[in-house]
Structure 1
Amino acid sequence: MNTPQLTESIKSLVDNIDREYILLPEFQRDFVWEIRKTCDLFDSLVRNIFIGSIIYGKPTFEITVREIDRRPRKGEGSRRKLKVISLEKNEINHKLQISNFRLILDGQQRVTSIYRALKGIDEIWYVAKNEDELSDEIKSKELRDRTLEEMLYEFSLQEDPDRLSIKLADAFEISKGIIPDDIREQYFEKLSFIAGMDEAEIKENFKRYYTICIKLGELFNSEVLISYYLLNMDNEKFALFFERSNSKGIQLNFIDILAAKLYKGFNLRDKIDELKDKYHPNNLDREIIVRTIAYLVSDGKDIDRNYILTNLNYNHFNRYWDEVCELYNKVLNFLFNENFIISQSWMPYENMVIPLIIYLRESEQKDFSQMTEWQYEFIKYWYWATIFSQRYSSGSNEAIIQDANVLKSITKGEKITDRVFFSRLKSQIDSYEDIYSYSKKVNVIYKGILNLINYDAKGLSDWNNSSKLTPDKKLEDHHIFPKDYIKQQFKNDDQALSLMDCVANRTLIPKITNIKVGKKPPSQYLTELKNSNSKLDITLKEHLIPNEIIEGLYDEFFTDFLEERSKLLFELIKRNVIDKEKSIIKEYYQAPKVKGNIKIFATYYSKKVEATFDIESQKILFLGESHSVPSATNKAKFYLTGRNNTSTNGWRFWKFIDENGEEKYIDELRKLSRK
């Protein structure tokens, strides 16, 4: 389908926002997109997948407008008021005459996400595949002839230390015309990816970096916001198209497409209905089950959409469906019984169930009660650290596979030989002030904090009668200081109003209790509750709420209360995640047992070549001669293809088999030599 709408480039869009030629009507909702959705948005742009039309309006009447949200997501300036301007009719007419002035009527989230990424407000990184990760067809092309889509590994929230990464904001600045020497000094040489490389490797990777920046600049200057779609799409684009668009208000995802594919031998929809009856009240997520089956079929290598739609068939589902469903139910029961989640609707990452299913499947008794204390301690740390590092917020498929493989090792009592794994579990919360930034239920840290309170209390109690809260109760994230009370009592206090929905002012209680609270001051409604629950003091302590709140000491000091509770919440995170990091690494990490000379190999254009690597000298013996890693890589590629000048990171070209029988890049050995 082709569309008759006008088009504009991304660069033009950003420039017009900077000049305030593009603004929002004051009544538009706030910018609410989680940062990971920005990754999806740029992924769609690179893949030429339709992201929807932006609808603008040129007003002919007086109206109040506001700026595009440029605020940081947390920290200083994150809660400042957005600039609001009231425009008279004559002012609007003047703007229309001298500029392309317009208001965004639909598409604010997409426009704001693009702007924030390219201005560096939100860090979004284009992560490129390494040469060995490309298909043979793409490898055969010259670098300049490869498309951004062909070279793309993922869009990420941070630089990938193992792959060439380009921050979109840097690429946007470079596209304005910066000379190569300045690009290398200001941007490229700051990448951790190139640490330890020799000059030849650095030169080749700068060539890749510069080429990708040029192509990103071409993307920013092309008219891609409005596009048309051909119907001959591959599985991945077909699924993405339905997931990222609505058809008459009905949202579809790739599981609906998969159900149609499997129908001949496995009625997925009927099986899902059976699950609802069998495992009620647990709500088993069909996508979790499907991705777990993909993990098993691929032998722990692939769980993404394209693999599922291309490779899975009804025989696989007939073989694994019942087993995986039973394990899934056991995992949910474990999470409930151990107080990791207070209810399934409040689970921070549903995908975390997959590694736990694999752990349980690999265990001999298929029962969590039989795990050792050593295994249990690791699972506790992994669970909370994954949440507070927001590990699954982008590129989650790779993280799921890695975590499932790690938990398989833990099942066998084996330690973890990948040191980088632990660095990816670093908490995003560094101080109690960071907690102020989380105010939306959709955020994983917001949910994680509320569940961690429940975990620490070994099960939270109801405020009415101190009975334990159970998954079947309809829980709400109750405002401890009611919203209406804050709006009335602190109406002139911008800070109090901006922090009203902060997670430090929230706790989970049944809906009926929340309704009773109304807009009373905390001391009043809590005193009323205490009349029916003499153990309310104990209950509030479980919820990490200072008991002085009942006495009315905080009624006039909302921000003081938030600070005190945020400190309590931060101490809880420190105790369960931050303070445990060093001891966990010491107990569960084991450096790969490699020394001396080891056999290495590489596969290039479907051909395999072997060599020997001297760990101490970092030299490779290939065809009877000793070479540096880059030199041996070039020799091997020429030996296999007869082609020169093919850029590849040699440290991620050659592989070895570790003591667990797993393939690893020799880059792991370089990392060991630096320790």
Structure 2
Amino acid sequence: MSEIQVLDTNVPALLKRLKSGEYLTPEFQRDFVWNSAAVISLINSIIDSKPIGMITLWEQEDTSDLQLEHLSIPDYRQDLGGTGPSYFGNNQDRTGRFFAILDGKQRSTAIALAFGGLRAIDGKYKHSGRYFLNVAAEDPLDRILYKSEKEIQKDGLNIPATAIGKGLFPLWVDDPDSIYSVWMDYTQKIGNPECYPSGQLPPQEEIQRRYQVLQKAFNGIINTKLAVYIVPKSQSLGEICEIFETLNTTGTKVSTVDLIHSWLYADTVGRGSQPILLRQEIDELGEYDGAVGWSSSKERPELIAQIAAAIHVALDNKPEPRSVSGAKVTRISSIKSPDLLAVPDRLWETFFDRKQDVAKFLGDMQEAVSGGRFSMNQCPYPASATIYMALRWYREFDAPKSVNWDQQHLDNLFRAFFWRNAFSTRYDQGFLTKVGRDIADFKAFLGSNSSTNFEDWKSVANTWLDKLIPTEGLKYEIDRSVSDGSLSGALRKAALLLLYTKSRKDVVDLSLDIQNMNNTPQLHHIFPRDWCANNRTGAAKEYLDPKISEYEWVNSPANLMPMARSSNLKWKAQNPSMAIDQLGINSSEQIDEFDRYFVDAKCLGFLKQGADGLGNFMKHRAALISNELDRRLYV
């Protein structure tokens, strides 16, 4: 492998090579899986001129048998009459010398989305929005914003002067060669009164600060280097497969949890008692009722570290933070990595000594939110749990006797916050910092407003929440999330959560307990997918034909229900109008279970009508779920 070349490139040059077809992706590679938060993290690294990794290329022959294509993301293609890729550049374009991207597709696609204008045209698809530099943001973590196309049109951000007047500068350019001229134009317009409402410029010092943010971002885009490894074309496909296998099994990133584990062991190994083995302690916590599905050394273990940091934020009597890299830390204010590293060993010792309490608090949080248990993977924003955990710990172990709020106040307030936060997608960006602020705001409100009659307090609490997260527009997001199976992320998880937590008994076989936190409840289609695919006619066409349906109803929460796998095999083999009768579902207990899963008597009546009742079933059941979720937005 001595012939491998090691080069570097910057963002404009990479975009040009990707769009022209010089760098192509093998069709066997996995689809783009990053979410907007991951893209934003990469953007921040670029504009801060931090290392952004590498890509590995394989030089190609014109006669190569490898199936290659331009970068792409899923979209709705009018010319194909259905789902199809949106390519970065013309997929037929090739340069005289071209390369296959063996490793780095995710990173390259993220850069094309952020800086090259790659996006899905259909607004129902993921990655249909755009990214902006927010020079008005005070917190560096909030300086990159992802806006949906609907938001862009609504706020007039498609007009550069309007966007600039709001402190927002589009990061993308349609032509990579124009990056320099576009950003030079930005530096001129940032001080132009014509770009601001009523021609009113911000104060000069603010203009100067914004200009510096803009200039730093531009310097990062131009100067940040991406390492490029080029494997020569003389390598065979078999050798390339070995290289590809190696790229996917080596170079594991050292996590914050690994660093905490190391120093925590070193700091506690000589204290007489057993040293703290962080990963072992996390796994032991995960065995307690309430923490099952939330505490694992293998799956997002940083959440437990975030809970510990959040507790430190909430405490009145704080143990001294730990020094990080020799620098004294005076205050833990967020759940960002530096603050996680600063959590002192004294707090960790107390935290793990009280595993049973920690697990109980986690279980109580789940019950408060949804009336049942759910796992971290089912939660829209698992980090939001740190707020409840921090305040519950504070109330139980640190608060003075004069504190006049109790668990009931916290449960009610957090439940409404949780659902507002989820359906507003407020934690999609900057949540690592927002959590610290939210803990402080919660604590201040609870401490000053909990002495009144509880019913009066709820009204005051709703007013306070309205300022933090207004309910305007949330009912629309709830309705859409329940009805549209094409949505993903927090909205999808929020719309499904009650279906998981209400899981109890199987409607076909009541002897089957389908609520088991060690075995995630399964949601299955009420109108089976195969049946839906074969019945896109008549009354059902409006809901099942993707060309004319407003929503993707088939995979929506409105068409999903908790059911055992064995029962689903019997259910989906029947015509939906006959399944209930042929499976003998007629006892009052079975009907009660249906009702528990938002399938009431009206739904059952529509279900028995088959295709003729499908539309009414979907709308009515969506309304039942939506109304219950809407109710939970209020204290």
Asked if these proteins are the same fold (TM beyond 0.5), I'd say yes
Q: Which residue of 1 aligns with 2:491?
A: 445
Q: Which residue of 2 aligns with 1:157?
A: 146
2:416 is aligned with 1:381: yes
Where in structure 2 are the equivalents of 1:617-636 lying within 5 Å?
none
Determine helix, strand or coil for the equivalent of 2:523: strand
Determine helix, strand or coil for the equivalent of 1:411: helix
On the 8 A contact 1:288/1:353 being kept in 2, the answer is: no
Where in structure 2 are the equivalents of 1:44-443 lying within 5 Å?
44-45=45-46, 46=48, 48-55=50-57, 58=60, 60=63, 68-69=71-72, 80-82=82-84, 98-118=95-115, 119=117, 121=119, 122-126=129-133, 155-157=144-146, 166-169=169-172, 175-178=179-182, 185=189, 198-201=202-205, 203-219=207-223, 223-224=225-226, 226=228, 248=250, 253-264=255-266, 265=268, 266-279=276-289, 282-285=292-295, 286-295=301-310, 296=312, 301-309=333-341, 311-323=342-354, 326-336=357-367, 339-340=370-371, 342-344=373-375, 345-363=377-395, 371=406, 375-414=410-449, 421-422=468-469, 427=474, 429-430=476-477, 432-433=479-480, 438-439=485-486, 443=489
C-alpha distance in 2, partners of 1:291/1:193? 41
**Root-mean-square deviation (Å):** 5.1
Q: Which residue of 1 aligns with 2:13?
A: 12
Determine helix, strand or coil for the equivalent of 2:130: coil
With over 3 angstroms needed to count, the CA separation of the structure-2 counterparts of 1:246 and 1:9, relative to structure 1, is same
Determine helix, strand or coil for the equivalent of 1:81: strand
Identity of aligned residues (%): 16
Deviation at 1:569, TM superposition (A): 4.3
Deviation at 1:279, TM superposition (A): 4.4
Determine helix, strand or coil for the equivalent of 2:522: strand
**Bigger Cα displacement from structure 2, 500-509 vs 559-568:** 559-568
Deviation at 1:30, TM superposition (A): 3.5
On the 8 A contact 2:392/2:407 being kept in 1, the answer is: no
On the 8 A contact 2:365/2:385 being kept in 1, the answer is: no
C-alpha distance in 2, partners of 1:79/1:258? 52
Letter in structure 2 aligned against 1:42: I
2:37 is aligned with 1:36: yes
Match of 1:553 among 600, 610, 613: 610
C-alpha distance in 2, partners of 1:462/1:366? 44
Match of 1:522 among 573, 576, 583: 576
With over 3 angstroms needed to count, the CA separation of the structure-2 counterparts of 1:63 and 1:341, relative to structure 1, is farther
Structure-2-length-normalised TM-score: 0.66
Structure-1-length-normalised TM-score: 0.63
Deviation at 1:181, TM superposition (A): 6.2
Letter in structure 2 aligned against 1:268: L
Determine helix, strand or coil for the equivalent of 1:169: coil
Letter in structure 1 aligned against 2:146: L
Letter in structure 1 aligned against 2:506: D
Q: Structure 1: which 5+ residue stretches go unaligned?
A: 86-91, 134-150, 229-244, 585-675
C-alpha distance in 2, partners of 1:406/1:425? 21
Deviation at 1:215, TM superposition (A): 1.5
Deviation per CA, 1:294-343, whole angstroms, max 9, x where unpaired? 2315665133212333x344333224433476234323244237635542
With over 3 angstroms needed to count, the CA separation of the structure-2 counterparts of 1:358 and 1:308, relative to structure 1, is closer
Deviation per CA, 1:57-109, whole angstroms, max 9, x where unpaired? 63735676666435679x99999532599xxxxxx9x965x544555454433
Letter in structure 2 aligned against 1:259: H
C-alpha distance in 1, partners of 2:615/2:67? 31
Deviation at 1:355, TM superposition (A): 0.8
C-alpha distance in 2, partners of 1:500/1:347? 22
Q: Which residue of 2 aligns with 1:592?
A: none
2:480 is aligned with 1:470: no
Deviation per CA, 1:567-608, whole angstroms, max 9, x where unpaired? 55444444443xx5xxx7xxxxxxxxxxxxxxxxxxxxxxxx
Deviation per CA, 1:15-43, whole angstroms, max 9, x where unpaired? 34444555555555443322212112223
On the 8 A contact 2:25/2:69 being kept in 1, the answer is: yes
